[in-house]
Structure 1
Amino acid sequence: MLASHWVLTVALYIVLYAASVALSVPGGAVLTLAGGFLFGWLWGGVAAVVGATLGAVIVYVATRSALRNLLLDRLEDTRLDRFRKGFGENAFSYLLFLRVVPVFPFWLVNLVPGPLGVSFRTYTLATLIGIIPGTFAFSIAGAGLDSVIAAQGARCAAEGMPRENCLHFDATSIFTPELIVGFIALGVLALVPVLVKRYRRRPY
């Protein structure tokens, strides 16, 4: 069914992802894993990046207009000053850093740039580029889950096991190349904050 309605399914996935981001609903990692599982790491990653960027843009538009004053009043002065200083020095680099390194929650980084005057182009490009590494790391891991199920099914078929017995996983089926690559990608992603912070501290 998924193959026969692939385009529609991907479109619905993007809409669901965008809506969850726009409404600041937690669970982006789970959605990204699901995208990799359903569509493969490449198309799952692309769909997740598109959905997350669209959702973030919706938040930007909303906070740049109607919600601007409300957000500025509610944010703590110290945190707001920190954001204002970073965006004032170099909005693109600072926002890109916040997207790559999860210093603050994704939903919070979506809310602040609009009211602080970051341009639409800067916001969109920095968001699009900055979320690519993390998104594809989770998408690869999600695609690896699919390879685990496929490996288990192949083992059952080769051994002539009944279908119901395939519900019991063999531990050796878990370590597929795809899933190992996914875990490696997540491990590299976990090192990014350390590397970026070290780079920012280097003297020039």
Structure 2
Amino acid sequence: NIAAGALFGLWWGLALCCLLTTIGASAAYFLSDTFGKACLLHYFGERISSLQQSIKSSGRTLFWFLVFARIFPISPGWLLNIAAPVLDIPFYSFLASTFVGT
């Protein structure tokens, strides 16, 4: 990210970092959805279903939770990318929060 800012300037570097980070996170989202979701639901179905219900009931606050999870360095980004499709987080909420949060 710092190299992009140094090479392309502040605004172009910021736009490129946000865009490319969002594309990479989306690729991880789709890979997890395609290959990992069925396996995790098979082994941890009950635990995941309770988390899925709490996410469905969160409504509009889900977007802001995902944005803050991206901003704060305590939550690993790779885990958010992999866990989002398993927990049935809608792709467009994931996409927008990743772009804004980065």
Shorter-chain TM-score: which interval?
0.7 to 0.9
Counterpart of 2:83 (choices 112, 118, 135) is 112
1:108–1:82 distance in 2 versus 1, CA, 3 Å? farther
Count of residues in correspondence between the two structures: 96
Cα distance in 2 for residues equivalent to 1:82 and 1:44: 40
Extract unaligned runs of 5+ from structure 1: 1-31, 132-204
Written as runs of structure 1 = structure 2, the 5 A alignment for 1:4-153 is: 32-71=1-40, 73=43, 84=52, 87-88=55-56, 89=58, 90-131=61-102
Q: TM-score, normalised by structure 2?
A: 0.77
Cα-Cα RMSD: 2.5
Give runs of ≥4 in structure 1 deviating > 4 Å: 71-74, 80-86
**One-letter code aligned to 1:43:** W
SS of residue in 2 equivalent to 1:97: helix
Offset, 1:86:
6.1
> Percent of aligned positions with the same letter in both sequences?
27
1:43–1:54 distance in 2 versus 1, CA, 3 Å? same
Q: Which has the larger radius of gyration?
A: 1
* Aligned equivalent of 1:199: none
1:49–1:116 distance in 2 versus 1, CA, 3 Å? same
Cα distance in 2 for residues equivalent to 1:122 and 1:107: 17
Q: Cα deviations across residues 62-121 of structure 1 (Å, max 9, x unaligned)?
A: 1122221334548xx6xx689657634242222122112223111111111111111111
Cα distance in 1 for residues equivalent to 2:3 and 2:49: 37
